[in-house]
Amino acid sequence: MTKKYKTFRGGLHPPENKAGSAHKPIEDCPLPAELVIPLSLHVGVPAEVCVAPGEQVLKGQMIGRARGLVSVPVHASTSGEVIAVEPRPHPSGKVLEAVVLRPDGADTPCDRVGEDQVHDWSATELLERIREAGIVGLGGATFPAHIKLSPPPQKPIDVLIINGAECEPYLTADHRLMVEQAEQVVRGSDIFRRVLGAKRVCVGIESNKPDAIQAMRRACTAAGMEVVVLATKYPQGAEKQLIFALTGREVPRGALPMDIGALVQNVGTAAATAEALSSGMPLIERVVTVAGPGVAEAKNLRVRIGTPLAHLVDYCGGIRGNLAKVLVGGPMMGAAQLGLDVPVVPATSGVLLLREEDLVLRPEGPCIRCGRCVQVCPSRLCPTTIAAYARLGRMDEAKDYNAMDCIECGSCSYTCPSAIPLVQSIRHAKASILAQRKKH
Q: Which of 44, 331, 343, 350 binds other proteins (CB under 8 A)?
A: 331
Q: Identify residues 155-214 at the interface with other proteins (CB under 8 A).
A: 169
**Which member of 369, 393, 394, 396 binds other proteins (CB under 8 A)?**
369
Going by the DSSP 8-state scheme, the letter that residue 344 receives in this structure is P
CA distances from 154 to 101, 137, 253, 261 (A): 44, 23, 19, 10
106 vs 359 by CB, closer to other proteins? 359
In the set 359, 392, 431, 435, which binds other proteins (CB under 8 A)? 359
Instruction: Say whether residue 424 binds other proteins (CB under 8 A).
Output: yes
CB of 238 to other proteins, least distance (A): 10
Residue number, 106 or 336, with CB nearest to other proteins: 336
Report how far residue 60's alpha carbon sits from residue 283's, in angstroms, rounded to the nearest whole number: 8
Closer to other proteins at the Cβ: 39 or 262? 262
- 333 part of the interface to other proteins, by CB under 8 A: yes
- Residues making up the annotated binding site for [4Fe-4S] cluster are 367, 370, 373, 377, 406, 409, 412, 416
- 347 makes contact with other proteins (CB under 8 A): no
Please state, in angstroms and rounded to a whole number, the distance separating the CA atoms of residues 192 and 160. 8
Closest CA to 165 of 199, 201, 213: 213
**CB 323 → other proteins: shortest distance, Å?**
5
Q: Which residue in 201, 416, 426, 429 binds other proteins (CB under 8 A)?
A: 416
Residue 131 CB contacts under 8 Å (≥ 6 apart), including other chains: 66, 72, 73, 144, 145, 146
**Ramachandran region, residue 290 (left: φ > 0; alpha: ψ -120 to 50; beta: rest):** beta
DSSP 231-243: -S-BTTTSHHHHH
For the CB of residue 5, give the shortest distance to other proteins in the complex, in Å. Answer: 19
CB of 386 to other proteins, least distance (A): 11
Q: Which of 28, 116, 250, 396 binds other proteins (CB under 8 A)?
A: 250
Going from the C-alpha of 165 to that of each of 80, 97, 188, 234, 244, the distances in angstroms are 37, 33, 17, 9, 13
Q: Which is nearer to other proteins, 105 or 339 (CB)?
A: 339
**Which C-beta is closer to other proteins: that of 102 or that of 325?**
325
**CB-wise, 170 or 192, nearer to other proteins?**
170
Smallest separation, CB 83 to other proteins (Å): 21
Question: What is residue 26's DSSP assignment?
Answer: P
Task: Identify whether the C-beta of residue 302 lies closer than 8 Å to the C-beta of residue 154.
Answer: no
| DSSP letters spanning 268-324 | HHHHHHHHHHHH---S-EEEEEEESTTBSS-EEEEEETT-BHHHHHHHTT-B-S-EE
Neighbours of 344 (CB within 10 A): 28
Give the residue with the Cβ less far from other proteins, 67 or 355. Answer: 355
Answer yes or no whether residue 426 interacts with other proteins by CB under 8 A: no
Count H helices, E strands: the chain? 13, 17
Query: Nearest approach, Cβ of 440 to other proteins (angstroms)?
Result: 23
Among 96, 314, 427, 433, binds other proteins (CB under 8 A): 427
Annotate each residue in 284-323 with x if it binds other proteins (CB under 8 A) or - if it does not, as one string.
--------------------------------------xx
* Main-chain dihedrals φ then ψ at residue 352, nearest 5 degrees: -120, 125
C-alpha to C-alpha distance for 70 and 56, rounded to whole angstroms: 28
* Residue 80, H or E segment: strand 80-89
Q: Binding residue for other proteins (CB under 8 A) from 201, 288, 423, 429?
A: 423
Measured at the CA of 86, the angle between CA 82 and CA 92, to 5 degrees, comes to 115
How far is 45 from 208, CA to CA, in rounded Å?
A: 37
Q: Is 252 in the site for other proteins (CB under 8 A)?
A: yes
CB of 227 to other proteins, least distance (A): 25
Residues 382-401 that bind other proteins (CB under 8 A): 382, 384-385, 401
Stretch that binds other proteins, among 79-87, 110-118, 248-256, 297-305 (CB under 8 A): 248-256
- Contact status: 370 vs other proteins (CB under 8 A): yes
Dmax (CA) for the chain in angstroms is 64
Contacting residue, 117, 357, 417, 437, with other proteins by CB under 8 A: 417
